[in-house]
Copies of this chain bind each other. A is one copy, B any other.
Amino acid sequence: MALHGRELRSTIDESGVLTLSLEDVTLSDPAEDEIIVQVEAAPINPSDLGMMLSAGDIASLTSGGTSDRPFLTLHIPESRMAAVRGRIGQSVPIGNEGAGTVIAAGSAVRELEGKRVGMIGGAMYADYRKISARDVIPLPDGASAADGAAMFVNPLTALGFVETARNEGHTAIVHTAAASNLGQMLQKICLADGIPLVNIVRSEEQAQILRGIGAHHVLNSGDSDFRQQLAEALEQTGATIAFDAIGGGTLGSTILQAMESVAVGQMSEYSRYGSERFKQLYIYGALDPAPTVLNRLAFGFQWDAGGWLLFPFLRKIGPEVAQRLRSRVVDELTTTFASHYTRTISLSETLQPDILRAYERKATGEKYLIDPTQG
């Protein structure tokens, strides 16, 4: 019994045209350890946008096709072509994670039939997803597909930050773009686990979101005395590790510099090499794609900046610790790890130019959810 459905694809050709389209795909029967899930919810995360739009220039957006089978094109600037060379000609499916109802199951995993599950593994922007049973988690009773749609990336990333901080000997954390769904989860975890967290946001509205869930330290980087507020918060918390979603520009540098200033202020003797306090910056996002600028002479030699990515982290901690983190996500799915969506759109709406421009903005606190059952 072959199943037919649509799947969102992103393709770049030799001339630098990126095409987004809904392709017809046929799913064969699941193998014995596989299931077929009817996708009911899939979030649009920044990492999905990265795969979907690649280096495409939003200003060059054009649309075509029919309302049932729309397509969009974007132009990739010549200067960025080298970075995408590896995927030219490939029809790339999109959507890291999602949730839905199991409509078919292989012989070894029959008990999943009819269950609602959260999934990770890509290609979730589709009507149906065939997937190995070990890449899904059955949702707790009463949980909606929206509840389970983002139970992997954000929850495990937030837990991963805390795990990383602890493993590397830090006792308090700084987080930027902190009012995001991920940031709210991180704040709830830190409150539960007794870890001081310094949240940095870019508007008073975002600050309110965090104060509303009990955040003690919320700084607005637009405030004229931001640096002083930051120094005070770092002094109070002792934070020496920061997770930065922005990446571009000087905010990460400003944080390392403030950490160093606090450390130097607590030294009894001057050293031209700065303090001996080790300061870590992890860049895990690219809300600003501009280069990272580090005024390193202001933070001594005991510093480190690096990329942080979920999957290498999960490999590093190993299956047992990963399982402990996953269990916590299921236990606290509708509390600590609740996601909030600004808007739910259908699969075909995903390819409407005005809607794409809206979700592409990646405004903190705004989040779109795709529900393919809406058409």
A residues at B contact (CB < 8 Å): 47, 50-51, 54, 82-83, 86-87, 90, 92, 247, 250, 253, 261, 264, 267, 270-273, 276, 283-284, 286, 289, 291-298, 300-309, 311-312
* Residues of chain B within 8 A of A271, CB atoms compared: 86
Q: Contact at B301–A303, with CB atoms within 8 Å?
A: no
Copies of this protein, total: 2
Residues of B within 8 A of A90 (CB): 270
Q: Which residue among A54, A250, A271, A292 has the maximum number of chain B CB atoms within 10 Å of its CB?
A: A292
Tell me which residues across on chain B come within 8 A of A297, comparing CB atoms. Answer: 83, 247, 286, 289
The answer to whether residues A291 and B289 also contact, given A303-B306, A304-B307, A312-B301 and a CB cut-off of 8 A, is: no
Query: A86-B271, A301-B308 provided; 12 other pairs, C-beta below 8 A?
Result: A54-B272, A82-B261, A83-B298, A86-B264, A86-B267, A90-B270, A292-B293, A293-B293, A302-B307, A302-B309, A304-B305, A305-B305
Complex alpha-carbon distance, A275 and B116, angstroms: 34
A272's nearest neighbour on chain B, judged by CB, is B51
Instruction: Return chain B residues, CB-CB under 8 Å to A286.
Output: 296-297
Find the B residue at minimum CB distance from A308.
B301
Given A86-B264, A272-B51; A307-B298 close (CB under 8 Å): no
Are A283 and B306 in touch, CB under 8 angstroms? Answer: no
Q: Is B312 a contact of A302 with CB atoms below 8 Å? A: yes
- When C-beta atoms are compared, the residue in chain B nearest to A264 turns out to be B86
Central interface residue in A87, A276, A291, by most chain B CB within 10 Å: A291
- Checking B291, B295, B302, B308 against A294 with a beta-carbon cut-off of 8 angstroms, the contacting residue is B291
State A261–B284 Cα separation when bound (angstroms). 20
Closest-CB distance, A37 to chain B (whole angstroms): 24
Please give me the residue from chain B that is nearest to A92 by CB atom.
B270
CB neighbours (8 Å) of A300 from chain B are: 307
Q: With both chains docked as a complex, state the minimum distance between the C-beta of A55 and any C-beta of chain B, in angstroms.
A: 9
A265 to chain B, nearest CB (A): 9
In the complex, how many angstroms separate the beta carbon of A94 from the nearest chain B beta carbon? 10
Closest to A271 in B: B86
**A284 neighbours in B (Cβ, 8 Å):** 301
Check B294–A303 contact: CB distance below 8 A: no
Q: Which 3 A-B pairs have the closest CB atoms?
A: A301-B307, A304-B306, A86-B270
